[in-house]
Structure 1
């Protein structure tokens, strides 16, 4: 995976599917314009149908199982890459938090983040 620009958005998602997919209390991802993302190597695909019926195609490593990237039908012009895939502690923090009605009670979001139920 190679990107040639800054993300258009960094977000966290508290939906139950992201909690299960990551094995954590939320998923953190950076969205990039698909024009600046180059993928290489092997990946397997899992298609998930969301609460509203939209589909997302998750690509994961066939060796270790880590999610490498995903593309949502609702946002086809972007590629979402899990923040952890960059292994960079200085990666920009999230600016948007979604599905907060499913957020664990002990989780706190950064000040100034956009909140979406």
Structure 2
């Protein structure tokens, strides 16, 4: 539920990249929280508007997670998986072309 409150939505779209494959410029502020399973998540956000620019998950040490809303060319990616299927609202269609993970 914390992700819903952070994004203000019932879903969040993101892309995961190897840390070595991306670079970032500009300043960010960070905050940390623990996930429901106890992992640490560090969110970096824009100090001017508050948008999340990227985040890191302690279980994914070699990856950076980028919300698709901050990427101009979102059509370059197709979803391959959806997590928290057990929390999916009934009105959200089930896409049979991607992996669903509870």
> Which residue of the partner structure matches residue 108 of structure 1?
93
Q: 2-side partners of 1:21 and 1:51: how far apart?
A: 14
Q: Does 1:63 align with 2:48?
A: yes
Q: 2-side partners of 1:98 and 1:89: how far apart?
A: 19
Q: 2-side partners of 1:61 and 1:40: how far apart?
A: 11
> Which residue of the partner structure matches residue 51 of structure 1?
36
TM-score, normalization: structure 1?
A: 0.81
Q: For the Cα contact (< 8 Å) 1:48–1:57, is it kept in 2?
A: yes
> Which residue of the partner structure matches residue 82 of structure 2?
97
Bigger relative contact order, structure 1 or 2, given CA contacts below 8 A and separation 6+? 1
**What do you get for the CA RMSD once the two structures are aligned?**
1.2
Q: 2-side partners of 1:89 and 1:56: how far apart?
A: 24
Residue by residue over 1:67-96, the C-alpha shift from the partner in whole angstroms, topping out at 9 and shown as x without a partner, is 000011100100000011113241312111
Unaligned 5+ segments in structure 2 are none
Unaligned 5+ segments in structure 1 are 1-15
Which has more strand, going by share of residues? 1
